[in-house]
């Protein structure tokens, strides 16, 4: 291989790397303020009556990649979950063990152990400036899915 081709094979990737570095943006890491407690929030109770023949679980999607179990109700039992609503933003939250507000993107209930595959989504009213009503659901198993109304 000629000396010129060898030099281009080395120089070209380095040149491309230097050009790409000019377009890169530094990420500034800084502390974010996390809302704590319930001041300014309206409490909204979610009640789920389980009329299925098996336990059900209620989960919240807190980020597009993370969900957490909020409650489990055995067959014939009822579960209650405290949700918190911010009337200024329309955001629902649950509190973690440090009383930090964890915004809820979505809620669902499903048969325990297969909650996502058998899920029934829970509708959340998100009208800014209006206090939402309590959410009272009765859930039954139907066609390998949970149905909640």
Residue 123 belongs to domain with CATH number: 2.60.40
Flag whether 10 is in a domain. no
Q: Where is average pLDDT lowest: 6-15, 62-71, 97-106?
A: 6-15
- Give a yes or no: residue 84 inside a domain: yes
The answer to whether residue 8 sits within a structural domain is: no
pLDDT of residue 135: 97
> Are 121 and 108 a contacting pair, CB within 8 Å?
yes
Quote the pLDDT of residue 103: 95
Range of the domain at 113: 42-148
Is position 113 within any domain?
yes
Name the DSSP class of 52. Answer: S
Q: Is residue 66 part of a domain?
A: yes
pLDDT at site 68 = 94
Please count the structural domains in the chain: 1
Residue 83 pLDDT greater than 80, yes or no = yes
CA angle 114, 90, 73 (to 5 degrees): 30
Does 4 fall in a domain? no
Torsion of CA 59, 65, 66, 71, to 10 degrees: 0
Q: Is residue 86 part of a domain?
A: yes
pLDDT confidence of 19, banded at 50, 70, 90? low
- Band (pLDDT 50/70/90 cuts) for residue 3 is confident
| Domain contains 70 | yes
């Amino acid at each position: 291989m000629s000396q010129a081709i060898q030099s281009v094979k080395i120089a070209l990737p380095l040149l491309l790397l230097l050009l790409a570095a000019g377009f890169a943006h530094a990420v500034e890491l800084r502390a974010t303020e996390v809302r704590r407690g319930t001041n300014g929030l309206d409490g909204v109770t979610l009640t789920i009556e389980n009329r299925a023949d098996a336990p059900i679980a209620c989960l919240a999607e807190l980020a597009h990649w993370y969900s957490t179990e909020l409650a489990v109700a055995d067959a014939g039992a009822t579960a209650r979950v405290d949700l918190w609503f911010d009337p200024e933003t329309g955001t629902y939250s649950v509190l973690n063990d440090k009383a930090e507000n964890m915004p809820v993107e979505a809620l669902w209930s499903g048969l325990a152990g297969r909650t996502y595959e058998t899920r029934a989504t829970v509708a959340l009213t998100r009208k800014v400036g209006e206090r939402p009503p309590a959410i009272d659901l009765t859930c039954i198993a139907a066609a390998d899915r949970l149905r909640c109304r």
